[in-house]
Amino acid sequence: MKGRRFHIIFTLRYLRYGLLLCLVPMLRALVEFDLDSLWLALTQDAAILLASAAAALVLWHATSFAWQEGAVQVSQGVVLRQSQTFSRQSIAALEIVRPLSCRLLGASRVTLYFRANAAPRRYTLYLKKRDAAAVAEALLPVCTENAVFEPTGFERLAFIMLSANILTSSLFALWGVRQADELLDGDFGRRAAQTLREAALFVARFLPAGFALLLTLGFAVTGFTFLVALVHTAGFQVCRSGGVIVSRGGFVTHIERRIFAACVSACDTCVSPAARLLRRYPVYLAAGSYRGGDLPVLVYKKGEERAVRRLLPAFSPPDGPLCAPARKSPVQYLWQPGALLALSLAVCGVASFAMPQLLPMLAVPVLLALCSLLVSLEGLFREGFCKNGSRTLSVCFTRFFTRHEVCVLTPDIAYTITENPFSVSGGRCDLRVHLPCGVRYRVRGVLRYLAQEIPFAP
Partner 1 sequence: MEYTVPRRGAAVVSAWPAGLGAVLSLPFWKNNAAFTLSALLLWAAVCFGILAPRLSSCVLRVGGHHLTLRRGLLFPVTRRIPLRFVTGCHILQSPLQRMTGTCVLALYSSGVTTVAPGLRRADAEALAALLTQGGRML
Nearest distance from C-beta of residue 303 to partner 1, angstroms: 32
In the bound state with partner 1, the residue whose beta carbon lies nearer, of 116 and 231, is 116
Q: How many residues bind partner 1 (CB under 8 A)?
A: 28
When the beta carbons of 298 and 433 are compared against partner 1, the nearer one is: 433
CB of 330 to partner 1, least distance (A): 21
458 binds partner 1 (CB under 8 A): yes
What is the footprint of partner 1 within residues 121-180 (CB under 8 A)?
Answer: none
Q: Is 434 in the site for partner 1 (CB under 8 A)?
A: yes
Whose Cβ is closer to partner 1: residue 49's or residue 454's? 454
Between 106 and 411, CB nearer to partner 1: 411
Q: Output the smallest distance, CB 337 to partner 1, in A.
A: 23
- Rounded to a whole number of angstroms, the minimum distance from the CB of residue 292 to partner 1 is 14
Which of 75, 415, 426, 450 binds partner 1 (CB under 8 A)? It is 415
CA distance 270 to 112: 25
Interactions with partner 1, residue window 438-457 (CB under 8 A): 438-440, 452, 454-457
Which of 65, 111, 112 is CA-nearest to residue 84? 65
Of residues 6 and 284, the one with the C-beta less far from partner 1: 284
411 near partner 1 (CB under 8 A): yes
In whole angstroms, how close is the CB of 435 to partner 1 at the nearest point?
5
Task: Select 158 or 433, whichever has its Cβ closest to partner 1.
Answer: 433
Nearer to partner 1, 133 or 454 (CB): 454
Q: Considering the rule CB under 8 A, would residue 387 count as an interface residue with partner 1?
A: no
Contact between 435 and partner 1 (CB under 8 A)?
Answer: yes
Residue 320 lies near partner 1 (rule: CB under 8 A): no
**Minimum distance from residue 89 beta carbon to partner 1 (Å):** 15
Tell the burial category of 34 from Cβ atoms under 10 Å away from its Cβ (0-12, 13-18, 19+): exposed
How many CA atoms lie within 13 Å of 220's alpha carbon, on the beta-carbon side?
A: 18
Give the interface segment with partner 1, choosing from 96-104, 207-215, 346-354, 428-436 (CB under 8 A): 428-436
Nearer to partner 1, 145 or 412 (CB): 412
Per CB under 8 A, does 420 bind partner 1? yes
CB of 341 to partner 1, least distance (A): 28
Find all residues with CB under 8 Å of 61, minimum gap 6, and list them: 5
Q: Which is nearest to 238 in space by CA: 166, 151, 302, 319?
A: 151
Nearer to partner 1, 158 or 431 (CB): 431
Our finding on whether 416 is near partner 1 (CB under 8 A) is yes
> Which residues 111-130 are close enough to bind partner 1 by CB under 8 A?
116-118
Q: Which of 419, 426, 442, 450 binds partner 1 (CB under 8 A)?
A: 419
How far apart are CB 424 and partner 1 at their closest, in Å?
Answer: 8
Q: How far is the CB of 47 from partner 1 (least distance, A)?
A: 39
Our CB check for partner 1 shows the closer of 372 and 410 to be 410
Q: Which residues bind partner 1 (CB under 8 A)?
A: 116-118, 411-421, 424, 434-440, 452, 454-458
